[in-house]
Structure 1
Amino acid sequence: MSGGGTGIGRAIAARLAADGNRVVILGRREAVLEEARARIEETVGPGRIVPVPADLTDPEAVEAAAARIAVLGPVDVLVNNAGAIVTPPAGDGLAALADAWRKDLDANLLTAVLLTTALQGRLRRPGGRLVVISSAAAQRGGAGPHSAGSYAAAKAALHGWAFGLARQLGPDGVTVNVLAPGYVADTEIFGAGWSEEFHAGKVADTLVGRAGTPADVAEAVGFLASPSAGYLTGQVIGLNGGAVLGR
């Protein structure tokens, strides 16, 4: 899975490893991946987590990572979780705006496209599971005061791409679903730099009166990755405490 070193990604990796899976975690920062491996394996035991550092916006790095993963055998579950809200444009001109948008598209869309394409032939057939982590921002627009809209647009682009993959891979017995979390505390996206008022507003926006947790997302992914979810494909599943109602 991509983005497996922190927050939601680490929780998903721990959940899948607890089910007995060997989990490859990918990310840019090797030290962060190693720390995640050590912490997860304190609970699940040694040998369950395989860190593979890679910049998933770089095609050559993705190809190298895919080659390392290939020696482990077929891919039962691929979770595309890598993503970030990129710093706002460093200036007022169109060039600065274009640069910021390209960075957001690279971080949130291209990472998933490149990794999935590199591993698509390795997905187990039948029975493979492809899970794409999007965001409630893709359904409602915006992502807070630091966003110029590029984050929401990049996450929304994942939906149409995933629908096409669901049609393509369904006949092979591979499911493709999008999970769109809302406000999830204890993550890098909703970390430093956001005011207490912003956090309180996000909680007030839910119907259940609390923030989501990485464990909430991990449990949902655990189901989507399971044999029980074999008839569920081509869907965008909102996990947002009711902040965005079903559509």
Structure 2
Amino acid sequence: MSKLALVTGGGTGIGRSTAGMLAEEGYHVVIVGRRPDVLADAVKWIGPQASAVTADASDPAQIPTVLEAIGDRPLDVLVNNAGAFIPGTDSTLDNVAEHWRANFDSNVLTAVLTTTALIPFMRRPGGRIILTSSIAAQRGGGGPYSAAKSALHGYAMDLAVELGEAGITANVISPGYVADSEFFLGRNTPEGHQKRVDATLVKRPGESREIAEAVRWLIGPGGGFVTGQIINVNGGTVLGR
């Protein structure tokens, strides 16, 4: 029986590339997302080792649908990749509350609810939990999005402490500017693209597959002694901290 992995936000960009890499490594991959058409395209691209679950991971009532896809099999890898920059207005306190809650739900609650529900199913020893953060968590600039991604760092450290004795690791990957994702869809400009490229030391944008390669390392035999860490993959835009 093949190993089992689950990727939230697995329909596009980093999530899709990560799911494809996991399939290459011999995993059966369950991808979770809110858009069935996007998920169907991703499954077709990944191949027969992939299946999809349509669910909003920020909604507790929809998490049982995710659990059904796991069944009674041990889960080897959990990649919490769901999340987005949610724009909003801060003209009133009600607007501020709505804006911040939306970003928290999208980026933090998705990871917390999914992980909490799936911890009992994680392989012991050997399970791997990975959370996708952002360069914005370390340098700011994204308002509630930056704050939400920062929250994942502390959460991953708590998971590492809680699950270490069971042989389960928990780490964060913090990408920089990745051009082939949906993150800047409809709001990037040629000037903005160039500014972000110029901010890197390698003078190019990252690619989703490069984030997937960081995941490959963490889930492989070389990553077993790495836990509670923030792994920066940002072309040197923000140096190690």
Q: In the alignment, which residue of structure 1 is the partner of 2:136?
A: 137
Q: Which residue of 8, 12, 15 corresponds with 1:6? A: 12
Q: Which residue of 17, 23, 26 corresponds with 2:23? A: 17
Q: In the alignment, which residue of structure 2 is the partner of 1:160?
A: 154
Percent sequence identity is: 51
> What is the identity, as a one-letter code, of the residue corresponding to 1:182?
G
Q: In the alignment, which residue of structure 2 is the partner of 1:116?
A: 115
Q: In the alignment, which residue of structure 2 is the partner of 1:39?
A: 45
> What is the identity, as a one-letter code, of the residue corresponding to 1:30?
P
Q: In the alignment, which residue of structure 2 is the partner of 1:85?
A: 85
Map 1:231-242 to 2 at 5 A: 231-242=225-236
> What is the identity, as a one-letter code, of the residue corresponding to 1:244?
V
Q: What's the offset of the Cα at 1:70?
A: 2.4
Over 4 Å off, 4+ runs? none
| CA distance, structure 2, for counterparts of residue 210 and residue 136 of structure 1 | 15
Q: What's the offset of the Cα at 1:219?
A: 0.5
> What is the identity, as a one-letter code, of the residue corresponding to 1:232?
V
Whether 2:223 is the aligned partner of 1:229: answer: yes
> What is the identity, as a one-letter code, of the residue corresponding to 2:80?
N
Whether 2:199 is the aligned partner of 1:205: answer: yes
Q: What's the offset of the Cα at 1:229?
A: 0.6
Q: In the alignment, which residue of structure 2 is the partner of 1:97?
A: 96
| CA distance, structure 2, for counterparts of residue 227 and residue 183 of structure 1 | 28
Q: In the alignment, which residue of structure 1 is the partner of 2:125?
A: 126
Q: What's the offset of the Cα at 1:190?
A: 2.1
Q: What's the offset of the Cα at 1:65?
A: 1.4
Q: What's the offset of the Cα at 1:142?
A: 1.4
Contact 2:30 2:69 in 1 (8 A): no
| CA distance, structure 2, for counterparts of residue 117 and residue 226 of structure 1 | 23
Contact 1:127 1:227 in 2 (8 A): no
Structure 2: gaps of 5 or more residues:
1-6
| CA distance, structure 1, for counterparts of residue 116 and residue 18 of structure 2 | 21
Contact 1:101 1:150 in 2 (8 A): yes
State the Cα deviation string for residues 154-188 of structure 1 (Å, max 9, x = none): 00000001100000000110011000000001111
| CA distance, structure 1, for counterparts of residue 65 and residue 185 of structure 2 | 31
| CA distance, structure 1, for counterparts of residue 105 and residue 221 of structure 2 | 32
Structure 1: gaps of 5 or more residues:
144-148
Q: What's the offset of the Cα at 1:193?
A: 1.5
| CA distance, structure 2, for counterparts of residue 151 and residue 203 of structure 1 | 21
Contact 1:223 1:229 in 2 (8 A): yes
> What is the identity, as a one-letter code, of the residue corresponding to 1:198?
G
Superposition RMSD in Å: 0.9
| CA distance, structure 1, for counterparts of residue 173 and residue 160 of structure 2 | 14
Q: What's the offset of the Cα at 1:227?
A: 2.3
Q: In the alignment, which residue of structure 2 is the partner of 1:146?
A: none
| CA distance, structure 2, for counterparts of residue 210 and residue 194 of structure 1 | 15
Contact 2:17 2:209 in 1 (8 A): yes
Q: What's the offset of the Cα at 1:226?
A: 1.2
The number of residues matched between the two structures is: 235
